[in-house]
Amino acid sequence: MENIKKNLTEIVIAAELAIVIAASLICFNRTEGKESKTENRYLASFPALKSGEGGISPTLKEDLESWFEDNLGLRDAYLTLSGAINYNILNRSKTDRVEIGKEGFLYLADEGNLEMAAKTSGPFIEKIPEYAQKIEEVNDGLKAQGIDYAFMIAPGKPSVYPEYIASSTHTIGETVGDSLCDYLRENTDVKVIWPKDKLIEAKDDPEGKAVYLKTDTHWTTYGRNIAYRDMIGALNGWGMSEQGPAEVCFSVTEGPFAGDLSDMMGPVSLTGRKVTEESFIDWKPVDIRAVQVESGERYEAFQNLMYEKNVYNPILCAMFHNDSVPKKSALILGDSMIGVCMLPELAECFSDLTFVWSYRVDQDFIDFVQPDIVISEYGERELDLRLKDIDTGFRR
């Protein structure tokens, strides 16, 4: 009897496994370039069998494995179940890219993000003089063209909220952004915008609001407003601008907010709920005068240039015009810390504002825009990666 029960159990397990395998193969995805809502990315397409030289592709085996794993049927269901078990039962992230911190905080765990909370960050510190020289060369080159230049770093969340990191113990202290900004101020005449102290001051105010989102790598609307006001205040203090900052109003949008880190973790319940417990607060200028340019000959020329530079997603570039302020044009090069939500407010301070999601001070951008001011913005967590190309395409 005991053997019969054992055999029946093994048969049932084998049958269940066969059903799962069969269902996965029957439901195999056959749509090329399909987007996975669970993983917030596009699935691998069927790989090329041959290389450019006509032979078998040297990465064919790895590419086929990626294609098969990505497109296996019921993948999203399995990932949802995995996410629910990992987060709700094991209290861990299903992806190595995200660390679950204390009190609901999530942190990006790669790109050197967590290491920035320490006073030293290895090789980057040694490269600071080299990077500072590149930044100074850009500053001098723009100055020779009659253009003002400002260099900005957007502090990373671990730099402002290190106390909620679970994997180690950190307090507010010097980070890689501090080290680079201090070096630039002490050894060059580059104008530096570094709003970390203002963000920490606001964060520590007992009556203040959070300045970074718990489930996202970016600052909250309040944090962004603090950085925006610090940015405009610095430009005005240097005589680069005479406007603003614009008065803004805040409003709570519908529904809970799930940030980029929450998206990376996927659903954490079988109902598809993501990690979130915060509302999203939007902002906009009280008196909107700047208009976004989205048509016309100059706009088309700008789009053609963006296409040539592989910046063809509309979210990666924008142009604004404002007749209500004295003529002063600005070219802003940066990423999502400025480009996603800060542009309308910045546009209230310049007659013309052009934004390009780029880490290169490219002479073609400068020749097209002919700005009075160029501002380069870099996220603190990727400084070592992004600064390598700051002067690519720049005419000294």
Strands (E), the chain: 35-36, 41-42, 98-100, 106-108, 148-154, 191-193, 248-257, 278-285, 291-292, 317-321, 329-334, 352-357, 373-379
pLDDT of residue 337: 92
**CA–CA separation, 377 and 193 (whole Å):** 9
**Which of 352 and 254 is assigned the larger pLDDT?**
352
Longest dimension (CA), the chain: 93
| 308-318: pLDDT as tens digits | 888 867 678 99
Give residues with Cβ within 8 angstroms of 67, minimum separation 6: 44, 45, 46, 47
Residue 6's Cβ-side half-sphere holds a number of Cα atoms within 13 Å equal to 3
Give residues with Cβ within 8 angstroms of 7, minimum separation 6: none
pLDDT at 95 over 70: yes
pLDDT of residue 87: 75
Strands (E), 241-368: 248-257, 278-285, 291-292, 317-321, 329-334, 352-357
- Residue 53 banded pLDDT, cuts 50, 70, 90: low
pLDDT at 8 over 80: no
**Which of 186 and 281 is assigned the larger pLDDT?**
186
Q: Where are the domains of the chain?
A: 114-389
Determine which of 63-72, 90-99, 374-383 has the lowest per-residue pLDDT on average.
63-72
**CA–CA separation, 252 and 230 (whole Å):** 24
| 150-164: pLDDT as tens digits | 999 999 999 999 999
**CA–CA separation, 339 and 310 (whole Å):** 17
Closest CA to 70 of 32, 108, 21: 32
Closest CA to 114 of 171, 168, 178, 180: 168
Q: Two tokens at 66?
A: 């990626």
- Residue 369 banded pLDDT, cuts 50, 70, 90: very high
Closest CA to 254 of 285, 279, 229: 279
Report the phi/psi class of residue 298: left, alpha or beta, with left for phi > 0 and alpha for psi in -120 to 50: alpha
pLDDT of residue 381: 86
Alpha-carbon 189 to chain mean position = 29
| 169-190: pLDDT as tens digits | 777 888 999 999 999 999 999 9
pLDDT of residue 24: 62
Determine which of 174-178, 257-261, 320-324 has the lowest per-residue pLDDT on average.
257-261
pLDDT of residue 23: 60
pLDDT at 59 over 60: yes
pLDDT at 39 over 60: no
Mean pLDDT, residues 94-103 taken together = 87
- Residue 278 banded pLDDT, cuts 50, 70, 90: confident
- Pairing verdict, β 329-334 and 291-292: unpaired
**CA–CA separation, 306 and 271 (whole Å):** 41
**Which of 177 and 81 is assigned the larger pLDDT?**
177
pLDDT of residue 189: 96
One-letter identity of residue 363: Q
pLDDT of residue 266: 77
